[in-house]
Amino acid sequence: MAILAIAGNTFRENIRDRILYNLILFAIIMIFSAVALGQLTLGHEDKIIVDLGLSSISIFGMLIAVFIGISLVYKELERRTVYSLLAKPIHRYEFILGKYLGLLCTLFVNVTIMTLGLVLTLASRGGGEFGSYLRLMPAVYLIFLSLALTTALALLFSTFSTPALSAVFTLFFWVAGHFNRDLLDFGRLTESASFRWLCNVLYYLLPNISNFNSIDGRNIIQSAAYHQSVDPAAVMWISVYALLYCAVLLLLSIAIFSRRDFK
């Protein structure tokens, strides 16, 4: 119950902080793409609108996850509101989980509104029945999973570091997570067994953000744009990966936060 109360509060705080203003920028991108693309490209207009829409959802979501996530705990410490909160019968794990769920809820609302905006833009061009827009869902779902992981990452750094450093760490891990597979290739290229072992360990240790970008070698946004079907089994395994990785990050956050001395 306490978790939900903290989550609700975090969500309200985010809305008060005008997080949803990014939707105005998203709307401008969508209107621009619907009106101006005909002048800039030859064919593929709907495909480009889907690409622009889904990429914007991903980029805006990532920026919110990083820049709000890094201050989730730090802000409470800075304002000293954490003292009055923890003085109440609230466990520290409830505080962390509540904060995480609150930001996730903000991201969910944001992603939902942007997806609706994208569907409306496509519908305004007279493209297909409503059912055909369901093809966007696997991509939107995987983008949301990657945002959930990024938020957990930002929250972890937020429990022990300053916002500036947390932003650097989170962005570093986010970028590294896209090049994770190269680590395996580096390992294979070397003749040193210990270096190969290190590369393998790092490959599993670092978050595999690239997992959320493609399925069976096909980019997930491209699959949505070209109406290609997505293997549900692959989506399930990626979901399990996200769940496990987020659980590890949240448990680490709880462990660090529980050990912090607020005296």
Residues at the contact surface with another protein, assessed by CB under 8 A: 40-44, 47-48, 51-52, 54-55, 58-59, 175, 178-179, 182, 209-210, 212-214, 219, 221-222, 225-226
Beta carbon of residue 119, minimum distance to another protein (angstroms, whole number): 18
Q: Distance between alpha carbon 154 and the CA centroid of its chain, in Å? A: 10
Q: CA dihedral defined by 239, 241, 245, 248, rounded to 10 degrees?
A: 100
The residue (of 47 and 196) whose beta carbon lies closer to another protein is 47
| Exposure on the CB side of residue 192, measured as CA atoms within 13 A | 5
Beta carbon of residue 91, minimum distance to another protein (angstroms, whole number): 37
Beta carbon of residue 4, minimum distance to another protein (angstroms, whole number): 33
The residue (of 14 and 180) whose beta carbon lies closer to another protein is 180
Beta carbon of residue 12, minimum distance to another protein (angstroms, whole number): 32
The residue (of 75 and 218) whose beta carbon lies closer to another protein is 218
Beta carbon of residue 86, minimum distance to another protein (angstroms, whole number): 39
128: DSSP letter: S
The residue (of 235 and 251) whose beta carbon lies closer to another protein is 235
In angstroms, rounded to a whole number, what is the distance separating the alpha carbons of residues 241 and 252?
17
| DSSP H or E stretch at residue 17 | none
135: DSSP letter: G
The residue (of 212 and 257) whose beta carbon lies closer to another protein is 212
Residue 167 near residue 66 (C-beta atoms within 8 A): yes
Q: What are the C-alpha distances in Å from 115 to residues 57, 105, 108, 154, 245?
A: 8, 15, 10, 24, 26
236: DSSP letter: H
